[in-house]
Structure 1
Amino acid sequence: MITMKSNKENLKFEYKNWEGKNAVRKVEPIKIWFGKTQWHPKNQWFLKAKDLDKNEERDFALRDVVKFL
């Protein structure tokens, strides 16, 4: 697990969710980790981050990041 330092550097990226829908996400990174979730049942790398639009912590599968903006 890689924990991010709190320097308030936000990320913006286009992301394909588990339903195959693309959306732009603005997040504050927390950590990068390897494992699986309910929505992603195979082991892979994730970015745990605070979704700034939804004001919630989310786990984003790095393989589903379409591009960084």
Structure 2
Amino acid sequence: MSENASVPSREHAVSFQYTNWRGETSMRTATPMGPFYLGATEWHPAHQWLFDAYDWDKGAQRTFALKDADFTAGAEAV
């Protein structure tokens, strides 16, 4: 995912609980940048469902592993 793409509108942001590759869990707020897709990255080396999103908490675009996101946890956060 390109780090230089434009920042999306926060209007369609979603909040979810996310566990990163280090096992750290936190609430994240992000705006999806496209559909889910099967793939692998440096941080997600196993072939799996991923999604790219603008992470408002980090101020940058990120790729998230769908298996590590709990969207029910953030249902009331946005």
TM-score range relative to shorter protein:
0.7 to 0.9
1:16 partnered with 2:19: yes
Consecutive unaligned residues of structure 1, counting only runs of 5 or more, are 1-5
Q: Counterpart in 1 of 2:46?
A: 42
CA distance in structure 2 between the aligned counterparts of 1:24 and 1:42, rounded to whole angstroms: 23
In percent, how many aligned pairs have the same letter?
36
Higher strand share: 1
TM-score, normalised to structure 2, is 0.73
Consecutive unaligned residues of structure 2, counting only runs of 5 or more, are 1-7
Stretches (4+) displaced over 3 A: none
CA distance in structure 2 between the aligned counterparts of 1:21 and 1:66, rounded to whole angstroms: 13
SS in 2 for 1:47: strand
RMSD in angstroms over aligned alpha carbons?
A: 1.6
Contact 1:33 1:48 in 2 (8 A): no
Aligned length: 64
**Superposition deviation, residue 47 in structure 1:** 1.3
TM-score, normalised to structure 1, is 0.82
